[in-house]
């Protein structure tokens, strides 16, 4: 903190302890909820047949072996629980331990970045909570969705199949025979993109990959999804929000500090 604010530790200690205890606790509680990393949430949808509607697509609880392999290369499975509270981003998924959004989530973390994938097959079909459409409160709010189409078609109207005010970018992944699969990035709503799109996969280009390169391809899909998502978000980065909260906290402490003579 002292390096961020450009002041020595004694001045910070004096200013912080000058705050009333309740105010200090509230301020630190807000600070704890502001992650220092860039956080991204991305949808992952599994479509098995060409005749499926929204309810059918969202109701899948498992996918093919190829889809499962793709997920394992896309990120790591982490159990949803209260232990995640703190510096672990959950992407809005329930961490109460009641398995409202499933038992596990798929996530990826690297220095300065935390990504959570809202995978429809990992979420339960809770009829008390609106059936499979309950999942849409996550998928429907993601700017970027990775869509695995098991029957191999790339040109399907995802925006009409899964209606949402977002659905900005779709990364289509489709098997091609027993050995290959294709990837296509489709910008569905260019008006949602406020930043620069940096790839690495180029929109409108159909890529063909060998299954043996699944790990490499999953990495490129993940990078593309992260970059596309950040290009669609206009909000302030979390690390800057955290920095501003520290600055405000230090200033309030200075205003309350009475030097002892």
**Model's pTM, two decimal places?**
0.78
Helix 214-232 × helix 65-74 angle, to 10°: 60
Predicted confidence pLDDT, tens digits, the chain (261 residues): 443 444 444 454 555 556 677 776 776 666 665 566 788 999 999 999 999 999 999 999 999 999 999 999 999 999 999 888 767 889 999 999 888 899 999 999 998 889 999 999 999 987 665 567 789 889 999 999 999 999 999 999 888 888 888 788 999 999 999 899 999 999 988 777 776 676 899 999 999 999 999 999 999 999 999 999 988 876 555 555 556 666 666 666 666 655 555
* Dihedrals phi, psi of 165, to nearest 5 degrees: -75, -10
Of 188, 163, 211, the residue nearest 53 (C-alpha): 163
CA distances to 13, 190, 209, 248 from 118, rounded to whole Å, are: 41, 22, 24, 34
* Segments of the chain assigned E as strands: 38-47, 76-79, 104-110, 113-119, 144-149, 169-176, 180-187, 206-210
Output DSSP code: residue 109.
E
């Amino acid at each position: 903190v002292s390096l961020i604010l450009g002041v020595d530790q004694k001045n910070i200690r004096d200013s912080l302890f000058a705050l009333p205890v309740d105010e200090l606790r509230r301020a630190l509680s807000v600070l704890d909820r502001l992650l220092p990393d860039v956080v991204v949430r991305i949808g992952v949808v599994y479509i098995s047949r060409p005749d499926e509607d929204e309810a059918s697509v969202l109701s899948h609880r498992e996918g093919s072996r190829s889809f499962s392999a793709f997920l394992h290369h896309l990120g790591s499975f982490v159990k949803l629980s209260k232990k995640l509270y703190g510096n672990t981003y959950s992407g809005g998924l329930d961490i109460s331990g009641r398995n409202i959004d499933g038992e596990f989530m798929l996530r990826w973390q690297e220095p300065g970045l935390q990504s959570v994938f809202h995978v429809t097959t990992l979420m339960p079909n809770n009829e008390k909570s609106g059936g499979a459409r309950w999942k849409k409160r996550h998928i429907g709010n993601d700017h970027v969705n990775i869509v695995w189409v098991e029957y191999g078609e790339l040109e399907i109207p995802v925006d009409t199949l899964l209606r949402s005010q977002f659905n900005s970018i779709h990364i289509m992944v489709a098997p091609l025979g027993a050995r290959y699969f294709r990837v296509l990035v489709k910008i569905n709503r260019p008006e949602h993109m406020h930043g620069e799109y940096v790839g690495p996969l180029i929109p409108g280009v159909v890529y063909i990959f060998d299954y043996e390169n699944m790990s490499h391809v999953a990495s490129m899909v993940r990078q593309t999804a992260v970059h596309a998502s950040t290009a669609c978000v206009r909000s302030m980065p979390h690390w800057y929000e955290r920095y501003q909260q520290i600055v405000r906290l230090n200033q309030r402490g200075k205003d309350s500090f009475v030097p002892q003579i």
